[in-house]
Amino acid sequence: MSDRVSAEVRAVRAIVAGHGDFAAGLVSAVDQITGRGSEFRVISARNLSGADLDTLLLETVRETGVSVVFTDLQAGSCTMAARRILRDRPDVLLVAGANLPMLLDFVFADDIPAIEAARHAAERGRAAIIAHGGKA
């Protein structure tokens, strides 16, 4: 079985939610680099009310059975919606501030439970942020 075919049959392991095309862009990059973009379900907050976003996130968690939600902004609408639905879903982990190194780490940690992989990925994503230059 080719890597491409095996990637297509992988189960969804996490949701990536964000504003505009943020989530789709990150998942597209993961797919281009690894062929494993299908491990994520993408949600955009575009044109959704808070209630609509809550409903969509909850339905997607139920439909996919995922235990991890990655979002873009710590106090953004996707994160706030995820926090609201997690009140009744303590089995789901929210990771806010998603970035590409984080999602790459997550997809390659497929030999450990998703929540453990997401916690490790969050550390990797945090460590990947650096600033260069900026002479004052």
Task: Tally Cβ neighbours within 10 Å of residue 67.
Answer: 17
**Superfamily of structural domain 3-127:** Phosphotransferase system, mannose-type IIA component (3.40.50.510)
- pTM attached to this predicted model: 0.90
DSSP secondary structure letter of residue 39: G
Q: How far is CA 7 from CA 34, 100, 107, in A?
A: 9, 18, 11
Average pLDDT over the chain, rounded to an integer: 93
| Helix or strand run (H / E) with residue 71 | strand 68-71
Model pLDDT for residues 77-113, shown as the tens digit of each residue? 999 999 999 999 999 999 999 999 999 999 999 999 9
Query: Could you tell me the two tokens for 59?
Result: 């339905």
